[in-house]
Chain A
Amino acid sequence: MKRHRASQAVWTGVETAGAWLLGVLWLAPLVYAFWAALHPEQYATDFSLTAPWTLENFGTVLDAAPFGRYFLNTILLVTGILVAQLVLGTLAAYAFARLRFRGRELVFALVLVQLMIVPEVLISENYTTMSKLGLVDTITAIGLPYVASAFCIFLLRQTFKSVPREFDEAAEIEGCSHLQTLLRVYVPLAMPTYVAFGLVSVSHHWNNFLWPLVVTNSVESRPLTVGLAIFNSTESGIEWTLLSAATVLIIAPLLVAFLIFQRQFVQSFMRAGIR
């Protein structure tokens, strides 16, 4: 028994060391990006403790490219998408969860198709549609294909279905219309689901790249990710400190939010995965 315990202690030590090694390995790329962003160019790969720190790289980046505008665009984009997704999703989810109508299962199946065939896959066809609608190069065009989210509808439908029927009846006796029942009973009860979906949606669209790249071509509509890619291709191979500063700039807000709401983030991502 004693020997067993001793070997166990050794193993725990080995595993702790392994876990930390992996942790360091996993953080290293990020730590490096921050190092390069916060140091003058000659110290980009020189990790000496005496290397002087600087914020100048950020200033240079902000002067070289309109990241301020990209920020604004991304913020408008993610909030616009989220609000629209929640409104459309809430209405549709309530209809699927609580109302009886012909073809309900069929229509729901049609909605679920979007879980398999995500809008990114349909870039070439959707671009044609957007140009017919005259929306190319607008923030609306970036967001529109995403505002009806099958995932949002699915999650909210699940949540709404778990609301006890008695609450409906009480609301009905009160003379509430369906819309009022939805707003006063269902929406407050589904708050955790809204938060979970909100985090996933915001981080997804903050990071989204392909469709925004395709459908935008001016500073006025480009989000941060596309701005970074353009900055990258014009400055490529010149100054890593500047590229790192730009990279840090676009990931910082999300990273800060993540550090503050760690638990919610992890739980939301988990719920998002398990559909």
Chain B
Amino acid sequence: MSKLLAPATREPETKAVTSAPTWRNRFRLPEPVVAWLMLLPGLIVLLLFTHYPVIRAVYHSFTDAGGEVTLENYHLLADDDVFWQVVRNNLVFALGTVPPSIAIALLMAVWVNRKLRGRGFLRLAYFTPAILPMVAVASIWLFFYTPGYGPVTTIFEALGLPVRNWLGDPDTVMPALIVMTIWKEAGFFMIFYLAGLQNMSVELEEASILEGASRWYHFRRVTFPLLMPTTLFVLVVALTNSFKQVDHLFIMTDGGPNNASSLLLYYIYQVAFQFYDLPYAAVLTVALVVILVGMALAQFRLFEKRIHYR
């Protein structure tokens, strides 16, 4: 940096006067050409593995084996009970994981933002699950839920509560996976709340104390409303994650029992690589893309509004 600037500032006029083109300047490519050359490598990869597959999936979803335009695939989709079940599962999974994760994340952030004993250690403890691979997390929790001698069973027995085959029972498999996901994700969301809290001015809390307001009142009426943008952001991230994260199903349930824990992306995997039905996988892919784009647009509008009233 300094090497570049020093000569230029020392003898600017000589440079300006001797503008006789060097070979480099003479052969300087026009700016747009340079730009496209720089963009090309990245753009080719993006087009090949993001845009082209989406377009192809859309094309395949509207054509039959002979290449004729048809809506048949979408009729199949509408009549496919498993499709509707996995979409429903996805919504249940999102609703089950998102609000508790957010509540716990907020609690964690408020706690580790205060001068508590061992604050640094606690931050670490809360955040660590977020950096682990879902496959490893699922392996650990698979043991926790083992019928017979897994810790969850042991705890339930000790409390005198009914015991089940947590992952093998359609009624408990979703809650079991939801609890694990909350454990994995809350610490990740915590860091956004922590950032939000640290940006908040201390005077606000001091003013509340002077007014004699309780901490709970201060949290409810000042802190939480001010953290609303963070909450919206975390909400969107959590929602989209619930449609993209399916790794745990491979380890724990294979989508079972009876598709009770299957999610849309896992169903796409099954259709494409276990049933080898690529045309139908294309239709399902289009459905997932539509959902993701829809959520992104909703997010966009949400954030636009926020900027407005600021």
On A, residues with C-beta under 8 Å from B are: 11-12, 15-16, 18-20, 22-24, 26-27, 29-30, 32-33, 36, 45, 87-89, 91-92, 94-96, 99-102, 104, 107, 110-111, 113-129, 144-145, 147-148, 150, 153, 167, 170-171, 173-178, 184-185, 188-189, 203, 206-210, 213-214, 225, 228-229, 232, 237, 240, 243-244, 246-247, 250-251, 254-255, 258-259, 262, 265-266, 269-270, 273-274
- Contact for B192 among A99, A254, A273, CB less than 8 A: A273
Residues of B near A16 (CB, < 8 A) are 116-117
Closest 3 A/B residue pairs (Cβ): A125-B53, A207-B133, A124-B272
Residues of B near A91 (CB, < 8 A) are 38-39, 41-42
Within 8 A of A (CB), among B187-236: 187-188, 191-192, 195, 215, 233
Asked if B114 is at the interface of the complex by the 8 Å CB criterion, the answer is yes
Residues of B near A33 (CB, < 8 A) are 140
Residues of A near B22 (CB, < 8 A) are 175
Q: Find out whether the CB atom of A95 lies under 8 angstroms from the CB atom of B35.
A: yes
Residues of B near A117 (CB, < 8 A) are 50, 54, 289, 292-293
Q: Find out whether the CB atom of A30 lies under 8 angstroms from the CB atom of B128.
A: yes
B143 to chain A, nearest CB (A): 5
Residues of A near B151 (CB, < 8 A) are 32, 45
Residues of A near B48 (CB, < 8 A) are 129
Residues of A near B122 (CB, < 8 A) are 19-20, 22-23
Instruction: Tell which of B2-10, B64-72, B75-83, B86-94 binds the partner.
Output: B2-10
CA distance A19 to B120 in the complex (A): 12
A137 to chain B, nearest CB (A): 14
Q: Find out whether the CB atom of B39 lies under 8 angstroms from the CB atom of A129.
A: no
- Contact for A269 among B7, B16, B104, B130, CB less than 8 A: B130
Asked if B28 is at the interface of the complex by the 8 Å CB criterion, the answer is yes
- A32-B46 contact, Cβ under 8 Å, with A101-B31, A209-B134: no
Asked if B309 is at the interface of the complex by the 8 Å CB criterion, the answer is no
Q: Find out whether the CB atom of B292 lies under 8 angstroms from the CB atom of A116.
A: yes
CA distance A205 to B118 in the complex (A): 32
Q: Can you give 7 contacting A-B residue pairs, CB < 8 Å?
A: A15-B111, A26-B187, A111-B42, A121-B244, A123-B268, A148-B45, A228-B133
Determine which residue in B38, B122, B143, B151 has the highest number of CB atoms from chain A within 10 A of its CB, and name it.
B38
Asked if B176 is at the interface of the complex by the 8 Å CB criterion, the answer is no
7 more A-B contacts (CB under 8 A) besides A88-B45, A153-B42? A45-B149, A88-B42, A95-B36, A100-B35, A104-B35, A174-B4, A228-B135
- Contact for A92 among B34, B38, B137, B292, CB less than 8 A: B38
Using a Cβ–Cβ cut-off of 8 Å, how many residues does chain B contribute to the interface with A? 100
Q: Find out whether the CB atom of A203 lies under 8 angstroms from the CB atom of B131.
A: yes
Asked if B84 is at the interface of the complex by the 8 Å CB criterion, the answer is no
Determine which residue in A91, A107, A125, A262 has the highest number of CB atoms from chain B within 10 A of its CB, and name it.
A125
Residue of B nearest to A130 (CB): B49
CA distance A45 to B288 in the complex (A): 42
Residues of A near B31 (CB, < 8 A) are 99-101, 178
Q: Find out whether the CB atom of A99 lies under 8 angstroms from the CB atom of B128.
A: no
Q: Find out whether the CB atom of B135 lies under 8 angstroms from the CB atom of A173.
A: no
Residues of B near A228 (CB, < 8 A) are 133, 135-136, 139
- A118-B49 contact, Cβ under 8 Å, with A92-B39, A170-B4: no
Residues of A near B132 (CB, < 8 A) are 30, 207, 251, 254-255
CA distance A214 to B273 in the complex (A): 8
A118 to chain B, nearest CB (A): 6
Q: Find out whether the CB atom of B128 lies under 8 angstroms from the CB atom of A258.
A: yes
Q: Find out whether the CB atom of B8 lies under 8 angstroms from the CB atom of A173.
A: yes
Residues of B near A15 (CB, < 8 A) are 111, 114, 116
Residues of A near B32 (CB, < 8 A) are 99-102
CA distance A228 to B271 in the complex (A): 23
CA distance A26 to B15 in the complex (A): 64
Residues of B near A89 (CB, < 8 A) are 42
Q: Find out whether the CB atom of A23 lies under 8 angstroms from the CB atom of B133.
A: no
Q: Find out whether the CB atom of A19 lies under 8 angstroms from the CB atom of B15.
A: no
Q: Find out whether the CB atom of B251 lies under 8 angstroms from the CB atom of A232.
A: yes
CA distance A79 to B5 in the complex (A): 34
- A209-B35 contact, Cβ under 8 Å, with A89-B42, A150-B46: no
Q: Find out whether the CB atom of B265 lies under 8 angstroms from the CB atom of A27.
A: no
Determine which residue in A110, A111, A122 has the highest number of CB atoms from chain B within 10 A of its CB, and name it.
A122
Q: Find out whether the CB atom of B191 lies under 8 angstroms from the CB atom of A247.
A: no
- A19-B111 contact, Cβ under 8 Å, with A173-B8, A207-B133: yes
Q: Find out whether the CB atom of A29 lies under 8 angstroms from the CB atom of B41.
A: no
Residues of B near A185 (CB, < 8 A) are 1, 4
Q: Find out whether the CB atom of A113 lies under 8 angstroms from the CB atom of B50.
A: yes
Q: Find out whether the CB atom of A270 lies under 8 angstroms from the CB atom of B192.
A: yes
Residues of B near A167 (CB, < 8 A) are 1, 4-5
CA distance A270 to B50 in the complex (A): 25
Q: Find out whether the CB atom of B126 lies under 8 angstroms from the CB atom of A184.
A: no
